[in-house]
Amino acid sequence: MTGRFPEDFLFGASTSAHQIEGSHDVDGRGESVWDVFARTPGAIEGGGDASVATDSYRRWRDDIDLLSELGLGAYRFSVGWSRIVPDGRGRVETRGLDHYERVVDTLLDRGIAPVLTLNHWDMPQALMADGGWISRGAVDAFAEFTTAVAERLADRVDWWITQNEPWIIQLLGYQLGLHAPGIADHRSAVTAGHHVLLAHGVGADILHGYERPKVGSALSLFPCDPATDTEADREAAWGSDGYVNRWYLEPLLGSVYPADMRAHWERAIGGDLDFIRDSDEQAIGGRSDFLGVNYYTRRVMAAAPANPFPWRVVGPSGDVARTDEGWEVAPDSFRDLLIRLSRDYPGVPLLITENGAVSGESPTHDGRVHDVRRIAYLRSHLNAVHEAIAAGADVRGYLHWSLLDNFEWSLGYRPRFGLVHVDYPTGRRTIKDSGRHYADIVRARSLDVPLPEAPSADTGAVE
């Protein structure tokens, strides 16, 4: 692993409001769809919720101190939608805006670039009265939210992400019911996903009315490989690619929804996609100044009877490296994905907005967290980014998921993604070996740095 990253390459880390903030009853915050979903028996592994999480609404200065200690130049965070427009429409809560203004100003004072996400899944519960994202009215509500945040922060924030992972919202929130709001219906799902993309277009138009903002969406992208070299499995992989990737990439960065996937969805719901109006695709496309890439692993696909789609995930054959969540570690697929994106959508810069691994190590007798597997994952994926850049991919930065261990949605607090370990009962933060190694990489702007040495007395803890 040799070579340096560009001098202007952004190294940072990511979080989201609902996963870290807690303080749900503070400063006029309204109820979100995840507050309600978490009260559903069995919805959250371990039965927890995010009412405390990592207590970052109160401890945000501690978290910025950690960013500074690690030498990171960028911080992706989200603005809690329910904190800004508690009732979904109408009244704007200025105390929430005041909080995020303090966060942004402190980041800028520390020389850390804010990367602000508007919707990281915490839609106000009040909007469910009209069906949430199933309703076209959610697009108007998102426009009001975007306007409120832009009026306060667009003069200081350069990087804006309108939507985080539209496919996950559509799939887990409205198709399988495994995430908030817990709806399981194919027509509702594809309708909701379309409105999320339409809201991106509306939000981008609002933000482009200001001088500074660069606007994009963060997509959860999964390269799809055939399980065998048979024509049937190759077709299954291409269909899965359309379902997971192209259905969002094409309207955002191309011009229209892919025809093969329109046909798949029409078969799945047994009717036309009449909620896509004539002018909608023009209102979505051509508005992305960059693409946010969230990458964790790949999908290995095989042909299957249509139910409702003719493919299934079978996973890789043989013994492969996996994270604690069972996901294959596949950095070569990451490299190839970045090269593909730059080839298919030339002129669209890429920002890695999430990449990370579940690895459950805790502090040992020396006070340190020796997460050697996360270090290996981090190095292999940063090497993949470097190789993609060398091959011509226009990658502007890498934001690791996550800065902190946090509330991982329906999986509760079991999976740990953080560069920083959080002891949930006390809130104590301890920088893991991976965090310190990442800091070394950032400082050198290169992977040519030594691996962590033997434990020392320095615990890196923040009380």
Among residues 183, 181, 193, 185, which one has the least CA distance to residue 308?
185
Give the orientation angle of helix 186-207 with respect to helix 259-269, to 10 degrees.
140
pLDDT for position 1: 52
pLDDT tens digits for 389-444? 999 999 999 999 999 999 999 999 999 999 999 999 999 999 999 999 999 999 99
Both tokens of 163, joined, read 């939507």
**The residue type at 400:** H
Residue 124 banded pLDDT, cuts 50, 70, 90: very high
List the catalytic residues. 165, 354
Residue 3 banded pLDDT, cuts 50, 70, 90: confident
Q: Where are the chain's structural domains?
A: 10-445
**The residue type at 355:** N
In angstroms, the CA 286 to CA 462 distance is: 44
On the question of pLDDT at 13 being above 70, the answer is yes
3-state secondary structure the chain: CCCECCCCCEEEEECCHHHHCCCCCCCCCCCEHHHHHHCCCCCCHHHCCCCCCCCCCCCHHHHHHHHHHHCCCEEEEECCHHHHCCCCCCCCCHHHHHHHHHHHHHHHHCCCEEEEEEECCCCEHHHHHHCHHHCCHHHHHHHHHHHHHHHHHCCCCCEEEEEECHHHHHHHHHHCCCCCCCCCCHHHHHHHHHHHHHHHHHHHHHHCCCCCCEEEEEEECCCEEECCCCHHHHHHHHHHHHHHHHHHHHHHHCCCCCHHHHHHHHHHHCCCCCCCCCCHHHHHCCCCCCEEEECCCCEEEEECCCCCCCEEECCCCCCCCECCCCCECCHHHHHHHHHHHHHHCCCCCEEEEECCCCCCCCCCCCCCCCCHHHHHHHHHHHHHHHHHHHCCCCEEEEEEECCECCCCHHHCCCCCCCCEEEECCCCEEEECHHHHHHHHHHHHCECCCCCCCCCCCCCCEEC
pLDDT tens digits for 141-160? 999 999 999 999 999 999 99
pLDDT for position 242: 98
In angstroms, the CA 174 to CA 159 distance is: 28
Q: Are 122 and 18 in contact (CB under 8 A)?
A: yes
Upper half-sphere CA count for residue 382 (Cβ side, 13 Å): 32
In angstroms, the CA 403 to CA 147 distance is: 28
pLDDT for position 281: 98
Residue 461 banded pLDDT, cuts 50, 70, 90: very low
pLDDT for position 453: 75
Q: Which CATH class is domain 10-445?
A: alpha beta
pLDDT tens digits for 241-277? 999 999 999 999 999 999 999 999 999 999 999 999 9
In angstroms, the CA 154 to CA 50 distance is: 28
Among residues 262, 238, 248, which one has the least CA distance to residue 198?
248
pLDDT tens digits for 126-138? 999 999 999 999 9
pLDDT for position 80: 98
On the question of pLDDT at 463 being above 70, the answer is no
pLDDT for position 182: 98
Region 12-32 average pLDDT: 98
Contacts of 52 (CB under 8 A, 6+ apart): 22, 424
Distance, C-alpha 127 to centroid of its chain: 22
On the question of pLDDT at 460 being above 50, the answer is no
pLDDT for position 318: 87
pLDDT tens digits for 196-247? 999 999 999 999 999 999 999 999 999 999 999 999 999 999 999 999 999 9
Q: State percent of the chain over pLDDT 70.
A: 97
Among residues 99, 222, 92, 216, which one has the least CA distance to residue 167?
222
pLDDT for position 462: 46
Tell me the average pLDDT of the chain. Answer: 96
Residue 459 banded pLDDT, cuts 50, 70, 90: very low
pLDDT tens digits for 76-113? 999 999 999 999 999 999 999 999 999 999 999 999 99
On the question of pLDDT at 317 being above 90, the answer is no
On the question of pLDDT at 449 being above 70, the answer is yes
